[in-house]
Amino acid sequence: MKITIAVSVVLLASLVGCASEPKPIIVSSGMRYEVYEQCKVASKEEIAALFDRWNNSLKAGNPHKVVADNYAEGSILLPTVSNKPRLTAAEKEDYFHHFLEKGPAGKIDMRHIQIGCNHAVDAGLYTFTFSKTGAVVSARYSYTYAWNGSNWLITSHHSSGMPEK
């Protein structure tokens, strides 16, 4: 039954995205689904600024604020320097607690943004400089965002170190 519902939701969302006029879209938020009648379509500049929001929240040094201000309920974080997927807010906060100790500052090196109805993807390459250790790490990234009716939030965040050195 759960699989049938999930397949139906994905099919409905796909069909909605193909329509020429704004139609209801279903946005997953953890275990609940919300329907928005209007599409929130953003500019590439607006989506690019979401990385700046996230990066600035890192500089504040508060793991709870990083997660609360940027990540949707039910989102996933697949971080660069941990093998453990982070699914809950507490798991994400634990990751950022250790990550922030190193004084990270990110810079986008190359990006590709795609925008749809109430969702967006920002993927590319970035470099982190760690003020506490002097280390510099280049990585690939992808952020998927969903509009929750009032704000763009991260629904998935993947980061992995560059495979070729």
| Whether residue 22 has pLDDT greater than 50 | no
> Average pLDDT for residues 89-105, to the nearest whole number?
96
| Whether residue 157 has pLDDT greater than 60 | yes
Q: Which two tokens stand for residue 111?
A: 């990006």
Residue 35 contacts by C-beta under 8 Å, 6 or more apart in sequence? Answer: 24, 25, 26, 27
Residue 92 contacts by C-beta under 8 Å, 6 or more apart in sequence? Answer: 63, 66, 67, 71, 75, 77, 86
Render pLDDT for 46-75 as a digit per residue (tens, 0 to 9).
999 999 999 999 999 999 999 999 999 999
Domain edges within the chain: 41-161
| Whether residue 104 has pLDDT greater than 70 | yes
Residue 6 contacts by C-beta under 8 Å, 6 or more apart in sequence? Answer: none
CB 73 within 8 A of CB 31: no
Mean per-residue pLDDT of the chain: 85
Q: Give the CATH fold of the 41-161 domain.
A: Nuclear Transport Factor 2; Chain: A, (3.10.450)
pLDDT confidence band for 7 (50 / 70 / 90): very low
